[in-house]
């Protein structure tokens, strides 16, 4: 079978690998669509593991089921989690399933940028495979995983009805945060970016105000928000200036959610007295999503409460995967780039 083998952002090759063979409890999926995630182009994050086949935002059709598999059959349309928590350890019991050791060890074989992938038995057993409703297309189903991450992020941040929101960075995750917030009756929603195209998309998908991130963001937020900083600030970019803006833009009693990774080794000094003491500001983070959050994301997509279809800007066959990675890495006039391995 053909796969997109990742060596670097500028070197993604179409190569041949044997089609995976499944064992008891496992599932083989013909991959019909696989989204390129922003983390797929973070080179430092995986440089010690290359070459490898990436792709975790997948949707496809089951072609084989292993002995003992229940609830799934050949021909079923599915999405799936590449990581699944054990549900039993200390972290899972405390509600931090995405810090579970098992979650950090589980994965697909070989990855979503391939014509076929094997879903291991543990992923099946731990409810990490999701049957697609007839209303959800394969390409829409590639948003289940990223939207689950967004759901978890807003839960970690303790979102409240009516609170003001500042989303710093209006790429795919930022736009999903905006849409989810709009569906949840947030108060004023403000978005930033340095890219005019993405600012237009933020406005289209629900932001009440968009700000060029090169301007004085904190002042504009307070001017728009009755003199207050934002109740919730979501960092959908890891750029150092964005972190500075978040600290200046958050209101008293507010929360800053670190949603995106930063450059390797980034540290950030700050004044505890200026930013925290007496202001009750909270810094928090989130990572990935658990199976329930994936199911909740799927329902949001099915019900059209979150409009994912209009976020797709590029659909490419596997032979054009290098072009897809270039589009995502450059982050210019693209939002969601989907690879269709069967083309």
How do residues 315-337 score in pLDDT, each as one tens digit?
999 999 999 999 999 999 999 99
Give dist(CA 314, CA 336) in Å, integer: 7
How do residues 269-315 score in pLDDT, each as one tens digit?
888 888 888 899 999 999 999 999 999 999 999 999 999 999 999 99
Q: What's the pLDDT score for residue 46?
A: 86
Q: What's the pLDDT score for residue 269?
A: 87
Q: What's the pLDDT score for residue 291?
A: 96
Residues of the chain with pLDDT under 70: none
> Domain check: are 317 and 297 in the same one?
yes
Looking at the 3D structure of the chain, how many domains does it have?
Answer: 2
Supply the CATH number for residue 101's domain.
3.90.180.10
pTM over the 0.85 mark: yes
Reading the block at residue 215, the tokens are 């301007």
> Domain check: are 270 and 310 in the same one?
no
> Domain check: are 59 and 98 in the same one?
yes
User: Which DSSP state fits 109?
Assistant: B
Radius of gyration of the chain (CA): 20
> Domain check: are 36 and 124 in the same one?
yes
Provide the 3-class DSSP secondary structure of residue 29: strand
Give dist(CA 239, CA 237) in Å, integer: 6
Cα separation values, 143 from 212, 275, 295, 312, Å = 27, 35, 12, 10
> Domain check: are 109 and 9 in the same one?
yes
């Amino acid at each position: 079978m053909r796969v997109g083998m990742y060596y670097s952002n500028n070197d993604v090759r179409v190569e041949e690998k044997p089609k995976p063979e499944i064992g008891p409890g496992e599932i083989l999926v013909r991959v019909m669509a696989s989204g390129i995630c922003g983390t797929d182009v973070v080179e430092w994050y995986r440089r010690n593991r290359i070459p490898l086949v990436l792709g975790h935002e997948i949707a496809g059709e089951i072609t084989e089921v292993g002995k003992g598999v229940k609830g799934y059959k050949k021909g079923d349309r599915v999405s799936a989690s590449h990581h699944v928590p054990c549900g039993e350890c200390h972290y899972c019991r405390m509600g931090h399933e995405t810090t579970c050791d098992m979650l950090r060890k589980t994965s697909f074989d070989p990855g979503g940028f391939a014509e076929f992938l094997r879903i291991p038995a543990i992923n099946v057993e731990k409810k990490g495979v999701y049957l697609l409703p007839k209303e959800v297309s394969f390409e829409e189903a590639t948003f289940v995983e990223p939207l689950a991450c967004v759901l978890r992020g807003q839960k970690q941040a303790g979102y409240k009805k009516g609170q003001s929101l500042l989303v710093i960075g209006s790429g795919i995750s930022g736009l999903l945060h905006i849409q989810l917030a709009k569906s949840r009756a947030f108060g004023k929603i403000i978005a930033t970016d340095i890219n005019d195209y993405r600012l237009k998309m933020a406005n289209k998908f629900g932001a009440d105000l968009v700000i060029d991130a090169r301007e004085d963001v904190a002042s504009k937020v307070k001017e728009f928000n009755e003199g207050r900083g934002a109740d919730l600030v979501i960092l959908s970019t890891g750029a150092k200036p964005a972190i500075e803006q978040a600290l200046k833009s958050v209101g008293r009693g507010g929360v800053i959610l670190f949603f995106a990774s930063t450059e390797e080794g980034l540290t950030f000094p700050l004044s505890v007295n200026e930013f925290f003491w007496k202001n009750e500001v909270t810094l928090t983070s989130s990572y990935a999503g658990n199976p329930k959050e994936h199911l909740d994301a799927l329902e949001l997509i099915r019900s059209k409460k979150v409009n994912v279809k209009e976020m797709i800007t590029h659909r490419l066959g596997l032979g054009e995967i290098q072009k897809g990675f270039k589009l995502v890495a450059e982050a210019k006039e693209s939002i969601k780039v989907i690879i269709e391995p069967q083309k």
